[in-house]
Each structure stands twice: as C-alpha cells, then as structure tokens.
Amino acid sequence: MSTTTNLSAGRPYLAIPGPSVIPDAVLQAMHRPSPNIYAGELLSLTDSLIPDLKALARTEHFVAIYIANGHGAWEAALTNTLQPGDKVLVPASGRFAIGWSEMAEALGIEIEILDFGTAAPWDLEQVAERLRADPGHQIKAVLGVHVDTSSSIRNDVAALRAVMDAAQHPALLMVDCIASLGCDRFEMDAWGVDVMVSACQKGVMTPAGMSFVFFNDKAAAARAKLPRVSRYWDWTPRANPAEFYQYFGGTAPTHHLYGLRAALDLVQQEGLERVWARHARLAEAIWAACECWGAIDDPMQGLRLNVADRGLRSHAVTALHLPAPSASSLRQWLEQNLGLTLGIGLGLAPAGSAEWHGHFRLGHMGHVNGHMIMGLLGGIETGLKALDIPHGQGALAAAAAVLARPV
C-alpha cells in the first residue's frame, strides 16, 4: 500500500482580503459565557472602545457602532446624510466604489459615477472639473473608497479634499476605509473627511459582524436636517447614548465587544504608526517577490501586479493577474496541498468567466508578520513550480532582502 504525502495539515492560513487572520488573543477574549448586559464589565469595556476606535480613525468626533458587516455601515452612512432625490458623485477605482453607489441608488439617491477603471486611481482633475460644473451645489456628497479591495488601488483622500476645497464645494466627503483601517495610513480629521465607514473583520482583526461609522459635526448637521432616519440606522443615539442599549439599538454584540477590545489592545501595544509601517514593509516584500516572478520573456504570460505604480498600491491587499486558468489552478493547488488559501479575483472580470480564472488577490491585512508573509510567498513559489507556471527567479530572496533591511 502506498501512502500519499499531505502537506496541508497543520494550521491553515487564510490569506484573503477579509476576513483576515484572527489573533489568538481575540479568540481567547471571546471564549467565555455570556456576560451581564445590564451592569458590570461589559459596560465599561464598551465605553473604553469609543476613544480607541476614534484614535484608530484619527478623529476627535463621533463614532457609531453597528451590528452589521461593511454593507450595513455603507447603508448607515447614506441614510444619515442623504435623502431620495439627492445627488452624489462617485469617483471609482474598482468594484467596491460601484457597490456603494448601487446601494445609494437603491435608496433613491441619484448617482453620478466617474469610472476610472480597475487599475487607476481617482483622476482628481476630472473630479475638480465636475465640481466646478456644479455651481448650484446639486452634489450633496462625494463617495470615495480609500483602498478598493477589488483592484488594490489606494486613493489619495487628502488630495480629494483639497480639490473639493479648491472648488469651494460644500458636499460631504464620505470615505470607505473598510480595507484600509488599521493597515494604510488614514487621518480622518487632518484629511478633512466628514464621514468614514469601516468594519471589524479586516485590519481590525475581529470576526465579521460589526462595523463603524465615524462622522464629524458637518455630517451631524446634515443628519439633523433630514426629516427622518430609520430608527435602527440613526447614528445619533448610537454615538451619544444615554443608556447602554442605545449603543446597539438592542442587545449588545457581547462577544464581538470582547474581541474588539483585545484587537484594539494589540494595536495600542504596537502603536498605530508602527502598525502602518509593518503593513508597508510586508507589502513591499510581496511586491518585490511578485515583480521577480513576473520577469519572464513575455510578461503578459506571467504573474502581473494589477497596479503598476508602487505609490498607488494598497498595503493591505494585492490584486494579481496570472493568465487563465493558472490563477484559479494556483489557488486550488495551494489550498489542497499546502493549507494556504488565497483570495479570488473580484471585479476585474465577470465572476466565473474564463477571464476571471486569470485573477487572484492576496490579503495581508491585520495580524500578519514577516514569517507569515515569507510562508505565503514560499507557498506561491511552490505552487508555481508544482503547476509548471512560467515565472522568474529570485522572488524569495528579493522578499527576504526587503524584510532584512534594518529600517
């Protein structure tokens, strides 16, 4: 009888762009019986989360917590600021911007998309032109996605604000930081963002199911002008609760709160600036490896980063091309043989189409470190070899050189 060698037992590694790897400290904090929701530790623990969430978003204003995924936070941000018939401008660098605008449309909001494709950042000259062509201020908000997780483009939020200011346009600036919060530098107040939405299962390292809407006084004033906001989504009681249950509009997400506390403790222990620096360095190692793999005679036949310019790449997610069906084969091979799961392609081709099998994504957000990224890259190198996919040499050495650099 022959035995087959299986190299996938052991701890699996989910390297998709959310949900991300959950730290043991978060899992352990959640492993407990239900706490009292009327008095005691859970109440003070929740109060302690608020300043730490604001620090994470670099804001001194307000935060509302929702028991919802990122889509819930999208809807909350829209319903608290806009009403049917209002118009929003949506500069788009990928699928998530389109998704948020579709949600706005479903709420009766008129959307205008400036679509910059799936491999380019916002063209701020075009945004400026559109804002200048709106002297009557029909546009009530600009919706932007900081890091679009489908394309892995990272947009310049501060520059968008500068363009809005230069046009003297009063629209709200609303930003989706679901993929970037806790990974890429984001400065809500300094960058002049009025509303920011995020969720807990990416850079915030907590199981999916909780999301956040941060807002400033200008956004609160927009909310105050609305005739009504549906009771559950209204951010006002959540951000200024007179009673504990108002934080959540009902029963608290008890275990998530313990998990989030542990996750925010990890961020505090490391320091937010150092968290960002870690993500930047790990991303650089990934890029170095990918650029080596892609260095073959006909680059279009090999592995290719979706975003050509390093300065426009997210530090949390990397979208890649590998001619179909190789990308899908690589993902399957790695999961079955090494216990390593990579992300599917999203939004660069219709899901399930032949072309779609030529895209994949790496998640490197949250609880990831040097040895995990070297394991991820070593796994990919192994898969490329096992499947005989053409690739350039020296990828692991290039990544190691990035991580070995002292500063």
Ligand X SMILES: *Cc1c(COP(=O)(O)O)cnc(C)c1O
Residues 81 and 233: their CA atoms lie apart, in Å, by 11
Smaller CB separation from ligand X, 145 or 398: 145
Asked if 367 is part of the footprint of ligand X (rule: CB under 6 A), the reply reads: no
Q: Binder to ligand X among 23, 70, 203, 379 (CB under 6 A)?
A: 70
Stretch that binds ligand X, among 175-183, 218-226, 273-281, 295-303 (CB under 6 A): 175-183
Minimum distance between the CB of residue 16 and ligand X, rounded to whole angstroms? 10
Residues 202 and 159: their CA atoms lie apart, in Å, by 25
Q: Binder to ligand X among 16, 163, 174, 179 (CB under 6 A)?
A: 179
| Closest chain position to ligand X (CB) | 70
Asked if 175 is part of the footprint of ligand X (rule: CB under 6 A), the reply reads: no
Residues 293 and 380: their CA atoms lie apart, in Å, by 10
Asked if 69 is part of the footprint of ligand X (rule: CB under 6 A), the reply reads: yes
How far does Cα 82 stand from its chain's mean position?
23
Other C-beta atoms lying within 10 Å of the C-beta of residue 405? 10
Asked if 318 is part of the footprint of ligand X (rule: CB under 6 A), the reply reads: no
Stretch that binds ligand X, among 173-181, 217-225, 236-244, 265-273 (CB under 6 A): 173-181
Q: Binder to ligand X among 96, 191, 333, 360 (CB under 6 A)?
A: 96
DSSP characters over 64-92: EEESS-HHHHHHHHHHTT--TT-EEEEEE
Q: Binder to ligand X among 18, 182, 345, 392 (CB under 6 A)?
A: 18
Smaller CB separation from ligand X, 46 or 206: 206
Q: Which amino acid is at 347?
A: G
Smaller CB separation from ligand X, 70 or 91: 70
Alpha-helical runs (H) found in 133-252: 157-166, 217-225, 235-239
Cα dist from 350 to 32, 323, 354, 358, whole Å: 43, 15, 9, 11
Smaller CB separation from ligand X, 69 or 81: 69
Minimum distance between the CB of residue 61 and ligand X, rounded to whole angstroms? 21
Smaller CB separation from ligand X, 54 or 202: 202
Q: Supply the DSSP symbol for 188.
A: T
Asked if 345 is part of the footprint of ligand X (rule: CB under 6 A), the reply reads: no
Which residues have a Cβ under 8 Å from the Cβ of 1 and sit 6 or more positions away? none
Interacting residues with ligand X between 133 and 162 (CB under 6 A)? 145, 148-149
Interacting residues with ligand X between 255 and 274 (CB under 6 A)? none
Asked if 302 is part of the footprint of ligand X (rule: CB under 6 A), the reply reads: no
Minimum distance between the CB of residue 343 and ligand X, rounded to whole angstroms? 11
Which residues have a Cβ under 8 Å from the Cβ of 105 and sit 6 or more positions away? 111
Minimum distance between the CB of residue 186 and ligand X, rounded to whole angstroms? 12
Residues 25 and 39: their CA atoms lie apart, in Å, by 24
Class of residue 26 by CB neighbours under 10 A (exposed 0-12, middle 13-18, buried 19+):
buried
Asked if 193 is part of the footprint of ligand X (rule: CB under 6 A), the reply reads: no
Asked if 78 is part of the footprint of ligand X (rule: CB under 6 A), the reply reads: no
Residues 278 and 282: their CA atoms lie apart, in Å, by 6
Q: Binding mask 220-249 vs ligand X (x if CB under 6 A, - otherwise)?
A: ------------------------------
Residues 329 and 380: their CA atoms lie apart, in Å, by 11
Smaller CB separation from ligand X, 48 or 341: 341
Minimum distance between the CB of residue 106 and ligand X, rounded to whole angstroms? 15
Asked if 95 is part of the footprint of ligand X (rule: CB under 6 A), the reply reads: no
Alpha-helical runs (H) found in 167-322: 217-225, 235-239, 254-270, 272-293
Asked if 65 is part of the footprint of ligand X (rule: CB under 6 A), the reply reads: no
- The size of the interface with ligand X (CB under 6 A), counted in residues, is 13
Strands (E), 296-402: 304-305, 317-321, 340-344, 359-363
Minimum distance between the CB of residue 148 and ligand X, rounded to whole angstroms? 6
Q: Which of 213, 211, 174 is nearest to 91 (CA)?
A: 174
Contacting positions for ligand X (CB under 6 A): 18, 69-71, 96, 145, 148-149, 176, 178-179, 199, 208
